[in-house]
């Protein structure tokens, strides 16, 4: 009965000159994500994309579609020829598969094929009359229906459906270029990564490890978080750059006045992120900063810290309430990982009274107390790159990849 899935692009349809590029990108992503389903075929029609099931169970496909950026919504639909008798019969068959007893409904018809000999209103009346005749107990209610029977009459055929599944929205994965995500292992930064992926940006990640102050389990948190994000990317993989940060932190807290320690540390992190971004062709830095949440995230702090980079810094969570960020992390499955009790380099050496309104001239004076450039270069040279993939799991303790088939 339900033999197609209709994909709607939403925001993509607003694009003009680059619309075809966006649509081609998302159609390719859909086909890659569903390549394991051998029976599926695909049909592109302007601003619509059809997945022809050919006997595949749509229940196995829907969870995958919900995680593909750029899909506004989709529906499992039944298709027939654009003939009024076939439309009426198909409408009856579609509702017979639903629990329609004593249900209130309305028919909503869209006549995209202007050559069809009946108007949308005439089709709605004709189909409604047939439904009342064949399905006793059905009631009409155009203002507060239990469900809507949608009839879409198009040149390539007529499509009938009752349910609309919402997708992620946003833009196709990777269409807007690459970014460098600063990820700590907490709640915020991974959600920020999800938001930019959803908005059409590729992500490479940088994590600052400070052994022995931070453990392998802190790195494992970051790995596990990013592995959760891989399913939203086009290639289902994310590069993680693990930067050895211990020497830099030691020098900061040996030479810099206590209240400016966090400010200087963040400036060093930004410098490293920028260098890695240039090295790997990323166009912006992304982080999970949230205005006013901690001392380094006041407007004054952001200004002083941001001063060390010329790259754009994207802060998707800047104005969100913490409760909204937590809710989003629960939705994408990262919250239980983020709250594991392992410290990262941002939570060690925290001063009792960090500067919440630092001054640039003082920050520069404190930095001048030690030669940090060789330390930055050494950290970059010793950075370890991990390619994280949804089908492989990296064990940070054993320092090896394990196939997902080997996991319990």
Q: What is the CATH number of the domain that holds 271?
A: 3.40.50.620
142 assigned to some structural domain = yes
Residue 345: predicted pLDDT: 72
Domain contains 378: yes
Write the pLDDT tens digit of every residue in 149-199.
Answer: 999 999 989 999 999 999 999 999 999 999 999 999 999 999 999 999 999
Report yes or no on whether pTM surpasses 0.85.
yes
Q: Which of these three, 116, 144, 166, is where a domain ends?
A: 166
- 55 lies in a domain? yes
User: Exposed/middle/buried for 147, CB within 10 Å: 0-12, 13-18, 19+?
Assistant: middle
Q: Burial-class residue 157 by CB neighbours within 10 Å (0-12, 13-18, 19+).
A: middle
Tell me, yes or no, whether 22 and 125 share the same domain. yes
Average pLDDT over residues 195-210: 96
104 and 203 in a single domain? The answer is: no
Q: Is the pLDDT of residue 403 over 80?
A: no
Residues 257 and 110 in one domain: no
Same domain flag for 116 and 54 = yes
Helix, strand or coil for residue 3? coil
Q: Does pLDDT of 143 surpass 70?
A: yes
In a domain, 236, yes or no: yes
Q: Residue 407: its pLDDT value, please?
A: 40
List Cα–Cα distances, 135 to 1, 100, 103, 147, 152, in angstroms: 18, 8, 11, 15, 21
Closest to 334 measured CA to CA, from 178, 168, 179, 194: 194
Per-residue pLDDT, 13 = 57
Give the Cα-Cα-Cα angle 225, 227, 228 (nearest 5 degrees).
65
Whether the CA torsion 382, 219, 205, 366 is positive or negative: it is negative
- Band of pLDDT at residue 346, cut at 50, 70 and 90: confident
Q: Is residue 354 part of a domain?
A: yes
Mean pLDDT computed over every residue of the chain: 92
Task: Tell me: pLDDT of 10 over 80.
Answer: no
- 226 and 110 both lie in a single domain: no
The rounded percent of the chain whose pLDDT value lies above 70 is 96
- In a domain, residue 224? The reply is yes
Residue with structure tokens 């496909």? 61
Question: Residue 27: enclosing H or E segment and its boundaries?
Answer: helix 19-33
> Does the pLDDT at position 340 exceed 90?
yes
**Domain that residue 17 falls in:** 4-166
Q: Are residues 196 and 114 in the same domain?
A: no
Average pLDDT over residues 8-18: 71
* Domain finish residue from 99, 133, 166: 166
> Who's near 283: CB < 8 A, 6+ residues apart?
177, 178, 179, 277, 311, 312
Q: 80 and 147 share a domain?
A: yes
Given a cut of 90, is residue 68 above it in pLDDT?
A: yes
Q: What does the alpha-carbon distance between residue 116 and residue 100 come to, in Å, rounded to a whole number?
A: 29
Between strands 313-314 and 284-286, the pairing is: parallel
94 with 211, same domain: the answer is: no
pLDDT of residue 1: 61
Nearest-angstrom CA–CA distance, 408 and 405: 8
How many Cβ atoms from other residues are within 10 Å of residue 398's Cβ?
Answer: 9
Q: Which helix (H) or strand (E) holds 158?
A: strand 157-161
Is 294 part of any domain? yes
**For residue 134, which phi and psi values (nearest 5 degrees)?**
-105, -15
Domain CATH number, residue 79: 3.30.2130.30
Q: Examine the domain organization and report whether 208 and 117 are in the same domain.
A: no
What pLDDT is attached to residue 281?
A: 97
Q: What is the pLDDT of residue 366?
A: 96
Q: Which of 114, 140, 166 is the last residue of a domain?
A: 166
Q: Are strands 73-80 and 104-111 parallel, antiparallel or unpaired?
A: unpaired
Phi, psi at 287, each rounded to 5°: -150, 175
Cα dist from 96 to 5, 90, 165, 336, 386, whole Å: 19, 10, 21, 42, 52
Rg (CA), the chain: 27
Q: How many domains does the chain have?
A: 2
Instruction: Please tell me the predicted confidence (pLDDT) of residue 15.
Output: 62
> Is residue 112 located within the same domain as residue 152?
yes
Is residue 38 domain-shared with residue 59, that is, in the same domain?
Answer: yes
Q: Give the pLDDT mean for 19-35.
A: 91
Query: Terminus-to-terminus CA distance in the chain, angstroms?
Result: 38
Residue 396: pLDDT band with limits 50, 70, 90? confident
Q: Are 238 and 128 within one domain? A: no
DSSP labels for 92-155?
HHHHHTS--TT-EEEEEEEE--TTSSS-HHHHHHHHHHHHHHHSTT-EE-SSS-SEEEEEEEET
- Considering only residues 102 and 96, tell me which one the structure prediction assigns the higher pLDDT: 96
């Amino acid at each position: 009965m339900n033999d197609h899935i209709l994909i709607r692009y939403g925001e993509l349809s607003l694009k003009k000159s680059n619309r075809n590029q966006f649509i081609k990108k998302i159609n390719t992503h859909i086909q890659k994500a569903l390549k394991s389903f051998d029976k599926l075929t695909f049909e592109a029609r302007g601003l619509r994309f059809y997945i022809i099931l050919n006997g595949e169970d749509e229940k196995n496909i829907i969870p995958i579609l919900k995680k593909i950026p750029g899909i506004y919504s989709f529906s499992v639909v039944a298709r027939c020829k654009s003939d009024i008798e076939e439309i009426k019969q198909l409408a009856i068959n579609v509702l017979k598969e639903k629990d329609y007893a004593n249900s209130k409904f309305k028919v909503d018809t869209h006549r995209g094929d202007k050559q069809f000999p009946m108007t949308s209103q005439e089709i709605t009346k004709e189909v409604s009359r047939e439904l009342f005749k064949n399905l006793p107990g059905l009631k009409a209610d155009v203002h507060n229906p239990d469900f809507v029977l949608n009839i879409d009459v198009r040149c390539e055929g007529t499509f009938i459906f009752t349910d609309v599944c919402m997708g992620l929205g946003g833009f196709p994965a990777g269409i807007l270029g690459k970014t460098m995500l600063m990820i700590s292992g907490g709640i915020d930064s991974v959600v920020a990564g999800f938001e930019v992926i959803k908005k059409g940006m590729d992500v490479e990640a940088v994590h600052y490890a400070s052994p022995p102050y931070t453990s392998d389990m802190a790195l494992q948190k970051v790995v596990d978080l990013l592995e959760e994000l891989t399913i939203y990317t086009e290639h289902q993989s994310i590069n993680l750059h693990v930067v050895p940060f211990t020497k830099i932190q030691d020098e900061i807290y040996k030479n810099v006045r206590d209240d400016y320690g966090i400010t200087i540390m963040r400036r060093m992190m930004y410098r490293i992120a920028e260098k890695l971004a240039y090295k790997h062709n990323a166009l912006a830095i992304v982080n999970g900063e949230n205005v006013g949440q901690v001392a380094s995230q006041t407007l004054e702090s952001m200004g002083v810290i941001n001063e060390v980079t010329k790259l754009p810094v994207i802060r998707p969570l800047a104005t969100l309430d913490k409760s909204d960020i937590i809710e989003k992390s629960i939705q994408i499955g990262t919250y239980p990982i983020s709250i594991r009790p392992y410290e990262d380099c941002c939570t060690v050496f925290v001063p009792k009274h960090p500067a919440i309104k630092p001054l640039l001239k003082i920050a520069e004076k404190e930095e001048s107390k030690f030669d940090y450039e060789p330390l930055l270069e050494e950290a970059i040279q010793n950075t370890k790159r991990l390619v994280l993939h949804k089908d492989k799991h990296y064990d940070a303790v054993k320092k090896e990849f394990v196939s997902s088939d080997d996991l319990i």
